[in-house]
Amino acid sequence: MTLDHPVALAPAERAVQLIGGDLTEKSLRLHLEGLPGVDAVGLEARAADLGTRSIKTTSKAWALDKIISLIDLTTLEGSDTPGKVRSLVAKAMVPDASDAATPRVAAVCVYGDMVADAVAALGSAHSAGRDDGINVAAVATAFPSGRASLSVKLSDTADAVSAGADEIDMVIDRGAFLAGRFGLVFDQIVAVKEACRRTDGSYAHLKVILETGELTTYDNVRRASWLAILAGGDFIKTSTGKVAPAATLPVTLLMLQVVRDWHNLTGERIGVKPAGGIRTSKDAIKYLVTVAETVGEEWLDPHLFRFGASSLLNDVLLQRQKLTTGHYSGPDYVTID
């Protein structure tokens, strides 16, 4: 697509610093298309290799607790009720009633209209800016498809923020991205970021969902990751969980590499959230290894890495019970929502 005249983009601080003051669709395109291509075979081989590390006994116990503390416990169904959100919150606060030493999860992730229910159910356990509580994350911007006008997306976001959401999980317009309209996607992210602003001037954390299953190539994933970071995303997230394939290890590794490059370039730390399709402790541990060996162990922190999952927690709890009791546990010993 050629542009007759340069379209100026919303001034996003990071993009202005990296690309320069004359931020246009063309300069953004030149930057994103100038990114080196991804060695797909090498990437997949590296991811497969990272999946072979043996994590046992005390390391495994540490990993399981770490996984729990990194989980965004999620329910994103059309059938969600206030009661279901309350039980999800109860599980987030006390994941395993048989063991008080079990850590809490990082956040609960719900649809925007359920935020008020989640905040009410959390009560004093709601972080609301503190470091020790549980966050409420809301999906917004016409999740999961992202097919709505910008004004709908912005009011969707603003509603969730005013209801008390600490984190906003937005979806990018994949249609526009695949059509090559990087500027449109960029502007939307900048606008949503602005909609995350609270009345007191602080911002809700913005996680940008790339929906990598729809981006078709690793090159696109790398471009979308850069785009989301340049536009001001605090986190880049793989998927909505509604599209297969959802999170995969190679894609997460690639996004972590972008985050590492950004950190080397600017010293700024961006978070990564693989979501969807991670159901077993074994898989989750592979992700921990990938994070530790790509960007470093400091990223194994709820501020910088999250798992978007619902069934993963139960599997981790079963493994945890096996480690503490010495015998295998079963699904009768964890709550099923």
Partner 1 sequence: MSRITVPKTFKLYIGGKFPRSESGRVYEVVTAKGAFLANAAQASRKDARDAVVAARSALSGWAGATGYNRGQVMYRIAELLEGRRAQFIDEIRSSEGVSASAAEAQVDAAIDVWVWYAGWADKYVQVAGNGNPVSGPYFNISTPEPTGVVAIIAPQQSSLLGFVSVVAPALVSGNTVVVISSQSSPLSAISLSEVLATSDVPGGVVNVLTGSAAEVAPWLASHADVNAIDLAGAGELDWVDLQIAAADTLKRVLPPEDGVSAASVERIIFFTETKTVWHTKGLI
Q: Pattern 213-252, binding to partner 1, x per CB under 8 A?
A: ----------------------------------------
Q: Take residue 99 and report the two structure tokens written for it.
A: 């063991």
Is residue 328 a contact point for partner 1 (CB under 8 A)? yes
The dihedral sign for the CA sequence 31, 213, 80, 123: negative
Report if residue 24 touches partner 1, rule: CB under 8 A: no
> Shortest distance, CB of residue 336 to partner 1, whole angstroms?
13
Tell me whether residue 196 or residue 318 sits nearer to partner 1 (CB atom).
318
The pair of three-digit structure tokens given for residue 239, joined into one six-digit string: 């998927």
**Kind and range of the H or E run holding 139:** strand 135-140
Stretch that binds partner 1, among 85-93, 103-111, 190-198, 328-336 (CB under 8 A): 328-336
Give the interface segment with partner 1, choosing from 56-64, 113-121, 204-212, 327-335 (CB under 8 A). 327-335
- Give the end-to-end CA distance of the chain in Å, rounded to a whole number: 48
Taking CB under 8 A as the rule, does residue 336 contact partner 1? no
Confirm or reject binding of residue 4 to partner 1 (CB under 8 A). Answer: no
Strand 107-111 with 71-74, pairing: parallel
Q: Does 282 bind partner 1 (CB under 8 A)?
A: no
Selected from 142, 326, 335, 336, the binder of partner 1 by CB under 8 A is 326
Q: In the chain, how many H helices and how many E strands?
A: 13, 8
The rounded distance, in Å, linking the Cα atoms of 231 and 190 is 5
Name the residue type at position 150.
L
331 is an interface residue for partner 1 by CB under 8 A: yes
The question of whether 193 is a catalytic residue gets the answer no
Under a CB-based contact definition with an 8 Å cutoff, are residues 196 and 206 in contact? yes
Of the pair 212, 321, the CB lying nearest partner 1 is at 321
The answer to whether 171 touches 209, Cβ cutoff 8 Å, is yes
User: For partner 1, how many residues bind (rule: CB under 8 A)?
Assistant: 9
Judge residue 44's burial from the number of C-beta atoms within 10 Å of its C-beta, 0-12 exposed, 13-18 middle, 19 or more buried. Answer: middle
> Least separation, in Å, of the C-beta of 282 and partner 1?
11
> By CB under 8 A, is residue 56 in contact with partner 1?
no
- Judged by CB, which is closer to partner 1: 63, or 334? 334
3-state secondary structure of 24: strand
DSSP element (H, E) containing 227: helix 218-230
Q: Assess 78 for contact with partner 1 (CB under 8 A).
A: no
Site string for partner 1, 286-325 (x = CB under 8 A): -----------------------------------x----
Distance CA 269, CA 263 (A): 6
Q: How far out from the chain centre does Cα 321 lie?
A: 27
Give yes or no: 169 in active site: yes
**Of residues 117, 169, 187, 315, which has the active-site annotation?**
169
Q: Which residues are catalytic?
A: 169, 237, 273
Residues that bind partner 1 (CB under 8 A): 321, 326-333
